[in-house]
Structure 1
Amino acid sequence: MTHTGSQGFVERSRDIAHVGSVELFSPVPQETVAFFRDLMSMRVVHSAGGSTYLHAWDDYEQWTIKVTGGAQAGVGRTYLRAASPAALERRVAAMQDRGVSGRWVQDEWALGRVWVGTDPDGHELGLYFDTEWYTPGDDDRPSLKNQASRLPLGGTRVRRLDHVNYLAADIPGVCEFLEAAMGGRMTERIVLDDGTTAAAWYTFSDKSYDLVYTGDWVPGASGRLHHVAFATDTREDILRAADLFLDSGVHIETGPHKHAIQQTFFLYVWEPGGNRVELCNAAARLVLAPDWEPVTWTQSERAKGQAWGLKTIESFHTHGTPVL
């Protein structure tokens, strides 16, 4: 394939720097907090108003995940950090131009002004730039000054939030929103035999994906979560995590194995509240080409299963949160 560099090329926006943090709802918040603290090796850094904030060891920001008590499991607000104050204003203007109603708030711990709106499926997004960086204490100060805190001694030692996978009713509509309003770039997708886009992977950075949208199988549903994913350093970390989850009585849904799409080495579990959580290792795969073209996977290719032949478990297509 020859790329001339001009024909059909659209320079992508870099206004969104990365996915910053995410809020999860849990009907058993204390158990969910214990899962992230004890098994995912996160540190509790703040509690307020029925929510607990936890920090992954190499997240440069104050917190990585917020656990909030609720009647059902599910996803709350996902925060995306803009690349600059001007970039934040551009993205807000682009969303408003597309009819997205939103509001400026300053209601989140350790963040400055946040513009809160929703994607076409009703998932709440918070765009921000001003943030507080994590400052380690005497008990977690690292020897290497270029990491946020000390490597935890136990648990799975997940390093950071990697991506969020939402369920949505209208995938083409979401794709158009991500590209036009948020400046995202599609890297891979699944297209069914009838031409329907069933899932799409988007990046805002050089990572191969930051947000994923998968078709929701429940008619009329909106704003639901498929999973949140956290990055490990190595595949061996995931193998060790599987043993830890087994000994701890955590429901292992599928894996460890390797995805065909995006080539991520994965393990999926359900945290005590019912949300699906992925441990993944995809750090070696970056999308550096400025003229990258989306890779399309067909229905028959997906039916073959994962990269090494593991068939996708049925619950992967039937379990989302809230459970409906």
Structure 2
Amino acid sequence: MALLHDIAHLGHVELHTPEPERSLWFFTEVLGLTENGRDADSVYLRCWDDYEHHSLTLTAHHTSGLRRTWLRAASQAALDRRVAAIERTGRGIGWMDGEPGIGPAYLCTDPDGHEYALYWESEWFDPPVELRPALKNQAQAYPARGVCVRRIDHVNFLAVATEPNGDFVRDLLGGRVTEQIQLDSGEISAQWLHFQQKSYDLVYTRDRTGTAGRLHHIAFATDTREDILRAADICLDRGVHIETGPHKHAIQQTFFLYVYEPGGNRIELCNPVARLVFAPDWRTITWTEAERAKGQAWGLQTIESFHTHGTPPVG
């Protein structure tokens, strides 16, 4: 079993898009991220209160989907422990030079084939004069542009089977399952896992197409629930496809809005309502198939595309 807290938090993700210019417009002008460098086909973007160099790497590609998820270790010693444990399982790929602002990273895959990069060394963002905040405990001045998402929040992976991937995060990365869905057949169809006090950082959901390695969504957090309502109006005015919401999840109680960015990837705008997990002996909450059939917290039924749309698309 991995040591709890060896992984500090979700660092950033690399997202593929077949519409790089339109996707860049969405993330900068609609969501309010700030560009912080370019390299070949990639653009580095940051949320205004993430402390690291970037929150998202947007890379031009022939299709959509998630290339890589970056997790920051709690220390160099914690990173060394995780690398040693992963290498014993044969799931390791090896070391790579980090992205801008990131030191050496160790690559590995979960049982479904999603790629992770684990790292420790990280360059804290030093804002230029025009982005310097009035409050020194804030990473960057509030951009006052679009939705103005505050930070990257979580990744929801699609997987052929949920439990082997949840076991990977638990046993090799030190995560814990806070909530899950169990079908009448006994199969666990979704799990929400966390590393620190946030109630979830990673989610695994069963892919109904039986395809491995796909993405359900990545999520960005706002300051308030009212920001989610405002985001719906902004997306409506800008012609961004709204899939479902605003509404409240029963699981994890997150206030949400789901949209598709121009490259086809699903993006969640979320407000987790400051729900934190402090109990060191947290008991996993299991939701039944009948309970999930009731819909979301206030009765909104989950629409069919939420179960069928993923990236990259499959025939």
Whether TM-score is above 0.5 comes out as yes
2:67 alignment counterpart: 76
User: 3-state SS of the aligned residue for 1:176?
Assistant: helix
1:6 is aligned to none
Deviation above 3 Å: which 4+ runs of structure 1?
Answer: none
Q: Does 1:162 align with 2:190?
A: no
Distance across 2 between alignment mates of 1:11 and 1:95: 10
Alpha-carbon distance in 1 for matches of 2:54, 2:34: 9
1:96 to 87, 92, 99: 87
Structure 2 residue aligned with 1:246: 236
Q: How does 1:1-324 map to 2 (within 5 A)?
A: 13-219=4-210, 221-324=211-314
Report deviation, 1:264: 0.1
Q: CA offsets per residue over residues 97-137 of structure 1, 9 Å max, x none?
A: 22213201114221111001111111110000001111111
SS, match of residue 130 in structure 2: coil
**Deviation per residue, 1:41-83 (Å, 9 max, x gap):** 1111111110001011001001000110111110011100000
Aligned residues of 1:207 and 1:283 also touching (Cα < 8 A): no
CA distance in 1, matches of 2:234, 2:273: 22
Task: Indicate how the Cα distance of structure 1 residues 153 and 256 shifts in structure 2: closer, same or farther if over 3 A, else same.
Answer: same
Structure 1 spans left out of the alignment, 5+ residues: 1-9
TM-score when normalising by structure 2: 0.98
Alpha-carbon distance change, 117 to 11 in structure 1, aligned in 2, over 3 angstroms: closer
TM-fit CA distance, 1:176: 1.3
Q: Report the AA paired with residue 277 of structure 2.
A: V
Residue-by-residue CA offset, 1:261-301 (whole Å, 9 max, x unaligned): 00000000000000000000015100000000100000000
- Structure 1 distance, partners of 2:203, 2:122, is 25
RMSD (Å) for aligned C-alpha atoms: 1.1
**Alpha-carbon distance in 2 for matches of 1:154, 1:32:** 16
Q: Equivalents in 2 of 1:164, 1:223: separation in Å?
A: 13
Tell me which amino acid in the other structure corresponds to 1:179: R
Q: Could you tell me how far apart the structure 1 residues matched to 2:13 and 2:26 are?
A: 16
Determine the C-alpha separation between the residues in 2 that align with 1:106 and 1:180: 26
Identity, % of aligned pairs?
Answer: 57
Partners in 1 of 2:183 and 2:97 — Cα distance?
42
- Contact preservation (8 Å) 1:275, 1:321: yes
* Cα distance in 2, alignment partners of residues 14 and 101 from structure 1: 20
Unpaired segments ≥5 residues, structure 2: none
| One-letter identity of the residue aligned with 2:145 | G
SS in 2 for 1:95: helix
Shift in Å, 1:313: 0.8
Say whether the 8 Å CA contact 1:11–1:290 is kept in structure 2.
Answer: no
